[in-house]
Structure 1
Amino acid sequence: MKIRLVLCGSVAALSVCAGTVAAAPAPDGTRAAPVAETSPASGLDPVELKSAVDGVHRAGIPGVYAEVRDTGRTWRGASGVADVRTGRPVTPGMRQRVGSITKTFTAAAIMQQVEQGRVRLDAPIGDYLPRLVPGERGRKITVRMLLNHTSGIPDYVRYAFPSLQDMSPKSLDDNRFRQFRPAELIEMGVDAPPAGEPGATPGVYSNTNYLLLGQLLEQVTGTTAEEYITRNVIERAGLRHTGFPAGTRIEGPHSRMYEALWGVLDPPRDYSVYNMSWTGTGAALVSTMDDLNRFYRRLLDGRIVNRSSLAQMQHTLPVVALDGSTIEYGLGLHKVGIPGCGTFWGHDGTVWGASTMSLTRADGKRQMSVAGNLARWNKADSSGKPQHHPIDDALSTLYRQAMCGKGNTQAKNASQTPAFNS
């Protein structure tokens, strides 16, 4: 049985990869974490938000936690457990591997270099990295094409984790402590059959693009991409709990991470200890929901890159996500339109056992960041198609409540709602 591989991927319109992760029910008797509630006058409904978070836990995610902001007011809540063995509860401030949300940080770093004149968006990547993207291809593919996934370079993950094509977790276990070099992962993508012609639309989402952007950062700054992003994006945004992992473990309070692999792993397996060199500047960051909301608010305020750069980042094209759906993707940013609620910008991310979504309304006043400690909960049928799961519906309810609030009839009746991906 074959299944479409969806990892470190992208929000699909407003039904992001619903059908890419599978869950076992959480154990009985788990405790919900305390909730920091706000006044109903803030536009947030603490009771409805808490009910929605509890609903996601009851549907099958062992632990879920979120932060929702509205016009300067904040609600934080959590439900379920961080450890299914001990019953340790999740809390709203826990750190999380946030997967492809990392791409927005990497894109912002590249745009800073564009502002300084060290990188040209429409310059061929071969001008900077001729050994990694050689020949005619390197002359056709531009920096912009890497940022918006129109390079035609396919994703490398299926080659780094070959057993996934046969629905086996062997590669996940084999690579747990493996140290990958960015160049070897990039070579896997560059040497694979092209996903399309450079510049053609719709583009095709590929993690290879963002590893190349990390190497570009190193080429033009003379330091590692992780160091540059830390100093010039993370610290500029005032984030206190965000960073690239120094080893295989997450520092600070965090949950275990349970991977179901479309029902192959039953019960789901803990992959919270993992060498994240397999994804680097594409999806390796660790953060908190508070930090993610702070980052996207400041990015959209023009405090991480200038307004001209932000406008470039928000120029979207159709891109085929790793789940086969088509999304609106800019330069490291998704555009998500919700009927009756407005336009939101952000990203989602999934790595082994962890799923995260962060979206901010265009005016910056309404924000939502949600994390769960389960990935790929939708079991696949005999044809390899992931099947609908109650978690999908519960997440849709939570997202609608978090982004649109109580009483928004048009939003409640919308046929599409976001879900975890990557």
Structure 2
Amino acid sequence: MRRALAAVHAAGVPAAFAEVRDGGRTWSGAAGTADLSTARPAKPDMRHRVGSITKSFVATTVLQLVAEGKVGLDDPIGRHLPELVPGELGQQVTVRMLLNHTSGIGNYTDALLGSLAGVISVGSTSYAPEELVRIGLSLPVTGAPGEGHSYSNTGYILAGLLIEKVTGNDAAAEITRRIIRPLRLTSTYFPGDDPKIRVPHAGAHFALLGVRDFATYQMSWAWMAGELISTPADLDTFYRALLGGKLLPPAQLAQMRTTVPMDPAQPEVGGYGLGLYWNATPCGPAWGHDGGVVGQITLSLHAPDGSRQLSLATNLSHYQLGVPELHPIDAAWLGFAVTGLCPGATAQRAAAPPRLPLPGALPVPAG
């Protein structure tokens, strides 16, 4: 594991840090420099913006509300938020479609982060969730509601507003009360309007803008689609509890793991459920999520029962520049993931190449 993690750093990221669990055994490690301005060494317990992994926490909370009879997965979102999604669209798009990205609603971050100027400006701008929804709804639809998977952060902003409407509480506070506090995830929190990450934390380096550190960055633009801060250890604890049935009744966990193909042309690659996806690996499907924000990338994948776990964080993003070939960082990233999730799987790799999310695959802003 140490060699595999060092290879991620050697491939070009300033730092990589991770935790791997196998039953009752835990390994954690770090390689490289936490931020380029101070040359602080990376440590395994550093806090990190985990981006879209937030969606697993949001979806779990919605499914708890489903289990309590307070909302239905097939409720039209217009029933709960008619002022935001009115008319025919509000009646066609269901809660389930928001959570599995089949709503067809445009992805608001395509508009906010579509240029380098946008990347810089959103980090000092405060957005209301309703404003993010309006941006998403103003974009062209990606398909008819329920037609197919098309990733949209807008759906999770609506899911956060749904939590608030149904419970009468702030979405971050409700998720903290239901999940973060009971699991004692002491390094996991929603920063709200605070642009800083509580120490210890890694830096955040955006490859197209050199050594600049984006760790201090306003995250209201991501809200319930990607605001969460956590650590590899806390993520492993969360997903083990989730996949082990400690956070949801069996019926709701089964719904969460009911997936649609992420790529209809290659359904064997992986499927997206409700804030949770599976990816093919040499040792079978791995469940979890990844997350990418400006300067920080996270991957958290787990055996179906949560017995074997891997969470990996790096502090460099957007280095691929649209080149279709596998970047050396991506190759090392895959190598670490396979080493951690599939020990002894070397002989299987040729027959079953890993199909995992790649940090270099993040869209590169133009201009």
Shift of 1:396: 1.4
Q: Give the secondary structure class of the aligned counterpart of 1:171.
A: helix
Question: Would you say 1:310 and 2:250 are equivalent positions?
Answer: no
Cα distance per residue 1:116-147 (max 9 Å; x no partner): 11111101000000111110000001000101
**Pair 1:368 & 2:310 matched:** yes
Matched with 1:191 is 138
Are 2:273 and 1:333 aligned? Answer: no
The answer on 1:213 being equivalent to 2:159 is yes
* Structure 1 SS opposite 2:42: coil
Name whichever of 231-240 and 246-255 sits farther off. 231-240
Give the direction of change, closer, same or farther, for the CA distance of 1:289–1:200 in structure 2 (3 Å limit): same
The normalised TM-score by structure 1 is 0.81
Aligned-pair CA distance for 1:190: 1.0
Contact 1:237 1:303 (C-alpha < 8 Å) held by counterparts: no
Helix, strand or coil: the match of 2:178? Answer: helix
**What is the Cα deviation at residue 344 of structure 1?**
1.4
Deviations 1:84-131 (A, max 9, x none): 232210000100000000000000000011011111110100000011
For 1:102 and 1:387, the matched residues in 2 are separated by: 29
AA aligned opposite 1:223:
N
Tell me what 2:53 maps to.
101
Find out whether 1:248 has 2:195 as its counterpart: yes
Q: Do residues 132 (structure 1) and 84 (structure 2) align?
A: yes
8 A contact 1:152–1:198 mirrored in 2: yes
Task: Kindly report which structure 2 residues correspond to 1:161-240, keeping only aligned pairs within 5 A, or say none.
Answer: 161-162=113-114, 164=115, 169-201=116-148, 203-240=149-186
Could you list the per-position Cα deviations for residues 264-314 of structure 1 after superposition, in whole angstroms to 9, with x for gaps in the alignment? 32x243211111000100100000100000000000111111111100000
Q: Distance in 2 between matches of 1:307 and 1:276?
A: 34
Q: Distance in 2 between matches of 1:180 and 1:94?
A: 27
Contact 1:64–1:371 (8 Å) recurs in 2: yes
Take 2:332 and 2:181, find their aligned partners in 1: how far apart are those partners? 35
The alignment of Structure 1 onto Structure 2 pairs a total of residues equal to 356
3-state DSSP class of the match of 1:79?
Answer: strand
Q: Percent identity?
A: 44
1:331-372 deviations in Å (ceiling 9; x for gaps): 000112223x12211000000000000011012210000000
Name the CA distance, whole Å, in 1 between partners of 2:211 and 2:334: 22
SS of the equivalent of 1:103 reads: helix
1:131-170 to 2 correspondences below 5 Å: 131-162=83-114, 164=115, 169-170=116-117
Provide the rounded CA distance (Å) in 2 between the counterparts of 1:140 and 1:259. 38
Root-mean-square deviation (CA), in Å?
A: 1.7
Alpha-carbon deviations, 1:27-67, whole Å to 9, x = none?
A: xxxxxxxxxxxxxxxxxxxxxx1001111101000000010
8 A contact 2:112–2:119 mirrored in 1: no
Which of 231, 235, 239 is 1:288 aligned to?
A: 231
Conserved 8 A contact 1:234-1:242: yes
